[in-house]
Amino acid sequence: MLGSCTIGLGKVSAVSDPLATTAAPPGINPVNVDNWLREAGLVGPFTFSLIAGGKSNLTYRFTDASGDRYVLRRPPLGHVLATAHDVAREHRIISALQNSAVPVAPVVGLCTDDAVNGAPFSVMRFVDGVVLDSPAAGDAVPEAVRAHASDQLLDVMVALHSVDIDAVGLGELARRGGYLDRQLKRWKSQWDQSKSRDLPLMDQVHAGLIASQPEEHTVGIVHGDYRFGNCIVDPATGDLCAVLDWELCTLGDVLADIGYLLVYWSDPAGPQLAENDPSGRPGFPSRDEVVRRYTAATGRSVADIQYFEAFSCWRLACIAEGVLARYAAGVMGDSTGFDLALSQQRVDALAKRAAALL
């Protein structure tokens, strides 16, 4: 699946150079993390920078003495909601998928000792490519390869949903049944804990989702945030290099991922449904074509796809409200440009869209 994508593998040296403490962004203890990385076999000194984006776990890029690049992920600063931002769990999932047909970044290590950096963190190798997280990013990719990039996105999703969870060691990742029950309970609880104001429509949609809940379909690995914005793509070929951001991954009804993808996907020449997605630009397939490709590849019925899109809109509104609350509390690093009113409008729009779909 990696195609022409490049992974920065780096070189491990036996030479122990002097410890050098350099300036580091918030969320990185430069001395402790430097020591831990050296013990893991990397060669310092290390230079850290906070990667723009990533509104859940904080993501940093760093280089070692030879210029090789790596990525470190840790939870947001300050208090976080229970069960959220579990980098150890994310590390477990990526490790399990290393030899699968699903491209992921090669793992380096996991630190679970809070004394090192104030919270657990995981380290993986940097993967070259681009993240298509906006219409402008989509425009930067040649129109001739946009269809292939979309095909790759769907094909990797199909591969993920086809992974033998027991064979890769993820059979105990979560309960295999009752996905929607668990999700509706979890995100309603987190909405209640993090909401910045009363929004009765969210409660109404939650009740509607419970009342119209379909029977469970195929149970497999659900990424939980599967979209172009969480994938690295080779801009020259359209190959999908790596799937990122696994913190919401669980076992459940795999139709949730295709329903979630449709929350972001825009039709060509139609209204732009999400400002952080490239679809809708020339060369990208339509929403119907996306669903048809998934159906053809899996043979699964998508009769309940509208329900899963509604559920995904509501769930994304809950997540977005939590991000909003963390930015307002100042625990998401650099909050330059954060607009509370605009963020609330986006949550409101998702709630209204979920209600309309139901």
Lowest mean pLDDT among 2-11, 171-180, 298-307: 2-11
Q: Mean pLDDT, to the nearest integer, of 279-303? A: 96
Instruction: Find the helix or strand (DSSP H, E) in which 355 lies.
Output: helix 340-357
Confidence of residue 80 (pLDDT cuts 50, 70, 90): low
Phi, psi for 237 (deg, rounded to 5): -110, -20
Asked if pLDDT for residue 18 goes beyond 60, the answer is no
Task: Characterize the bridge pairing of strands 69-74 and 107-111.
Answer: unpaired
* Angstrom distance (rounded) from CA 247 to CA 344: 23
Lowest mean pLDDT among 16-25, 82-91, 218-227: 16-25
102 neighbors 153 (Cβ within 8 angstroms): no
Q: Mean pLDDT, to the nearest integer, of 158-175? A: 97
Q: Which amino acid is at 11?
A: K
pLDDT at 342: 85
Asked if pLDDT for residue 20 goes beyond 50, the answer is no
pLDDT at 3: 52
Express as a percent the part of the chain with pLDDT over 90. 77
Asked if pLDDT for residue 82 goes beyond 90, the answer is no
Task: Locate 205 and state its tokens.
Answer: 């949609």
Residues 322-334: tens digit of each pLDDT: 888 877 776 655 5
Of 158, 164, 160, 163, nearest to 298 (Cα)?
Answer: 158
Asked if pLDDT for residue 139 goes beyond 50, the answer is yes
Average pLDDT, the chain: 89
Write the DSSP symbol of residue 286. P
Task: Locate 254 and state its tokens.
Answer: 């795999």
Asked if pLDDT for residue 13 goes beyond 60, the answer is no
* Angstrom distance (rounded) from CA 45 to CA 67: 10
CB atoms within 10 A of CB 32: 15
Residues 172-217: tens digit of each pLDDT: 999 999 999 999 999 999 999 989 889 999 999 999 999 999 999 9
pLDDT at 286: 97
* Angstrom distance (rounded) from CA 156 to CA 263: 18
- The angle at the Cα of 334, spanning 103 to 139, to the nearest 5 degrees, equals 50
Write the DSSP symbol of residue 274. -
* CA dihedral (222, 228, 230, 233) positive or negative: positive
Asked if pLDDT for residue 236 goes beyond 90, the answer is yes
* Angstrom distance (rounded) from CA 88 to CA 214: 32
Of 327, 295, 353, 286, nearest to 58 (Cα)?
Answer: 327
pLDDT at 269: 82
Of 77, 287, 134, nearest to 85 (Cα)?
Answer: 77
DSSP SS3 for 189: helix
Asked if pLDDT for residue 16 goes beyond 60, the answer is no
pLDDT at 51: 86
Confidence of residue 44 (pLDDT cuts 50, 70, 90): very high
Confidence of residue 28 (pLDDT cuts 50, 70, 90): very high
Cis peptide before 235 (omega within 30 of 0): no
Task: Locate 217 and state its tokens.
Answer: 């379909």
Task: Locate 196 and state its tokens.
Answer: 């910045």
CB atoms within 10 A of CB 180: 19
DSSP assignment string, 13-41? -S--PPP------TT--HHHHHHHHHHTT
251 neighbors 221 (Cβ within 8 angstroms): yes
Of 90, 224, 102, nearest to 163 (Cα)?
Answer: 102
Asked if pLDDT for residue 353 goes beyond 60, the answer is yes
pLDDT at 90: 94
Q: Mean pLDDT, to the nearest integer, of 218-227? A: 97
Q: Give 240's strand partners.
A: 233
pLDDT at 337: 65
Confidence of residue 76 (pLDDT cuts 50, 70, 90): confident
Asked if pLDDT for residue 313 goes beyond 50, the answer is yes
